[in-house]
Structure 1
Amino acid sequence: MPETTRDAAQPEAPGLAFRAATEADVPALVALVESAYRGDASRAGWTTEADLLDGQRTDVEGVTAAVTHAEGVVLLAEQGGELLACCQLERRGEHAYFGMFAVGPGRQGGGVGRAVLAEAERFAGEEWGAAELEMTVIEQRADLIAWYERRGFRRTGIHSPFPYGDERFGIPLRSDLRFEKLVKNLTRQ
């Protein structure tokens, strides 16, 4: 994917350049995702999961698998060569899965996340012809779900269990975690 700058489309986060991640980006991606969701550093932003989960959010193997997935791409958002945010897209038939969305804690709330989501929607719709973008969010993350709803996603009521016992996804601090599927229509009506 060629690098593009979308200044005009995203005035809140000017100068962002988007590109597809390579295996050389994996260590920086792992650090970014961990900083956005886990540990005390994540508390500087609003997307922290530190009150729900301890341990890791991802690892080198998981991020490498996403970066090298034949039907996927990990998009990076950079500004002046600095990695600010990322997301994963995976083609699944007429749908695209959206995941591994992370914005550095110090950059949250300034439009970077909105710009990355807009680029992910554009890429999935225009490059892959995806009709919908789908994701799973921990149901207990009401603030995060509300953020996605304000951006056109809808709750489906379809739930899946949290992978208790698999520390690759973190160490749960409560026993009632589960995911809910959210979807957004990408086709113009």
Structure 2
Amino acid sequence: MTDLTFRTATLADVDAIIPLVESAYRGEASRKGWTTEADFLDGQRIDRQLLIELIKRDDARVILVERDAELIACCELQNQQGIAYFGMFSVAPEGQGNGVGNHLLIEAERFAAREWQCREMSMTVIDIRNELIAWYERRGYRRTGVFKPFPYGDERFGIPRRDDLRFEVLSKALG
């Protein structure tokens, strides 16, 4: 995977990030990969204005992965008082399962530990995503037993197809 390039997103990248994130989670295109949420969420996965605000923040980064100048993966990091929040983790469906996501996760952990001196990385995952949670557990993340409600009624985060969605916090010590 030495042909991967990592960089921080700028506002000029917004129009490329949105379709990447949508393709990894929503609609028929997402069914090519294993991270789809299409069976339990419709609507958008990412809100344009929230993405713009995230890119502008000093305490956040959107990390992009490119291969031959083509955007193939991304994630967000937020420095939350010494704990790095990891989210918006997206790999193009046709590229899932070939190690790109693992390399991006390692790069995000490295950035959080070295650049921000974070001692922990946390994330929220919809708790019915057992295969995804198991993938994170194989990379050292642990289920915390802390749950957060799904933002029902806020279509910026999607339109639920079921009424039992909630997030579980996963965590990993860094460094």
Q: What residue is the counterpart of 2:87 in the other structure?
A: 99
**Structure 1 letter corresponding to 2:103:** A
User: How much has 1:60 moved relative to structure 2?
Assistant: 1.1
Quote the residue 1:166 is aligned against.
154
- What's the offset of the Cα at 1:18? 0.4
Q: Which residue of 2 aligns with 1:152?
A: 140
Q: What pairs up with 1:39-118 in 2 under 5 angstroms?
A: 39-118=27-106
Alpha-carbon shift at residue 94 of structure 1 (Å): 1.5
Corresponding residue of 2:121: 133
**How far is the alpha carbon of 1:66 from its aligned partner?**
1.5
RMSD: 0.7
State the Cα distance separating 1:59 from its structure 2 match.
2.0
Which residue of the partner structure matches residue 131 of structure 2? 143
Post-superposition offset of 1:14 = 2.9
The Cα shift of 1:72 comes to: 0.7
Deviations 1:59-115 (A, max 9, x none): 211211221112011000001100010010011112100011100000000000000
- Deviations 1:102-161 (CA, angstroms, capped at 9, x unpaired): 000000000000000000000000111100000000001001000000000000000010
Percent sequence identity over matched residues? Answer: 59
Extract structure 1 runs of 4+ deviating beyond 3 A: none
**Quick one: distance in 1 between partners of 2:12 and 2:51?**
11
Q: Identify the residue that residue 5 of structure 1 maps to in structure 2.
A: none
Aligned-partner Cα distance in 1 for 2:16–2:31:
19
Cα shift at 1:36: 0.2
Of structures 1 and 2, the one scoring higher in RCO (CA 8 A, sep 6+) is: 2
Indicate the SS of the match to 1:46: coil
User: How far did 1:25 drift?
Assistant: 0.1
AA at the equivalent of 1:32: L
Unmatched tracts of structure 1, length 5 or more: 1-12
Equivalent position SS for 2:31: helix
